[in-house]
Amino acid sequence: MSLGALWAENSGETPAEPLDAAIIFTPVGALVPNARRAVRKDGRVVWGTIHMSHIPQLPYSIVWKERHLLRVASLTRQDAFEFHAIAPKIGIKTTTLVYLLEQGNAALADLRAGRFKGPGC
């Protein structure tokens, strides 16, 4: 919530109001049906992982009403620059922590140790 989300809960929780969109950052396919149930008619579920485990069969009740399922697997550096330019204008608060390439192992160690704040951390 401190990063600007209007709703954030455990993946098994249902929001009080249907969401415009749900974003999945983890490669767990079992989360897709929960996310589909959480979005409104014409809502979007986006997952931003390159690999995802098996997505369970989706009952028709969470497919109809034109809900969209999108996967974003390859963002360019320019996409990131453009996102960071518009994020504050739409209420998204971001923080960036820079590691040099040779500090890759330290970045992974910090991630494993929970020293980051944010989704998936």
> For the domain that residue 45 is a member of, what is the CATH number?
3.40.50.720
Write out pLDDT tens, residues 46-99: 887 777 888 888 888 877 777 787 777 666 778 888 888 888 888 887 777 889
Average pLDDT of the chain, as a whole number: 81
Query: Which whole-number Å values give the CA distances from 9 to 24, 38, 71, 108, 119, in the listed order?
Result: 12, 11, 22, 25, 11
φ, ψ of residue 71 in degrees (nearest 5)? -120, 130
Domain region containing 73: 19-112
118 band by pLDDT with thresholds 50, 70 and 90: low
What number is the average pLDDT over the span 31-35? 88
38 within some domain: yes
Residue appearing with tokens 């040099």: 100
32 within some domain: yes
